[in-house]
C-alpha cells in the first residue's frame, strides 16, 4: 500500500527543511560578520586620517 501523506504533513516537512536551511544561513551570516569584525571595529589607521585631512585642506598628493 502506498503511504498517503497529507498536504499538511508535506507543508510541515517543507517548513521544517526551510527552517533548518534558514538557521544554517543565519549561522553563516553570523560567522562571516564575526570574521570581519576586527577590521570593522578597529581604529582607522593614521594613514587614512592624514590622507583625508590633506585632501580636505586642499593639499596636493
7-46 residues near other proteins, rule: CB under 8 A: 24-25, 27-29, 31-36, 39-42, 44-45
Q: How many residues bind other proteins (CB under 8 A)?
A: 27
CA distance 38 to 61: 29
Give the residue with the Cβ less far from other proteins, 3 or 56. Answer: 56
Q: What are phi and psi for residue 21, nearest 5 degrees?
A: -65, -45
What's the closest the beta carbon of residue 17 comes to other proteins, in angstroms?
13
- Helix, strand and coil in the chain, % to nearest 5: 75, 0, 25
What's the closest the beta carbon of residue 37 comes to other proteins, in angstroms?
9
Amino acid at each position: 500500500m502506498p503511504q498517503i501523506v497529507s498536504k499538511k504533513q508535506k507543508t510541515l516537512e517543507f517548513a521544517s527543511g526551510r527552517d533548518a536551511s534558514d538557521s544554517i544561513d543565519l549561522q553563516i551570516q553570523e560567522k562571516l560578520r564575526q570574521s570581519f569584525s576586527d577590521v570593522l571595529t578597529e581604529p582607522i589607521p593614521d594613514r587614512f586620517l592624514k590622507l583625508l585631512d590633506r585632501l580636505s585642506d586642499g593639499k596636493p598628493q
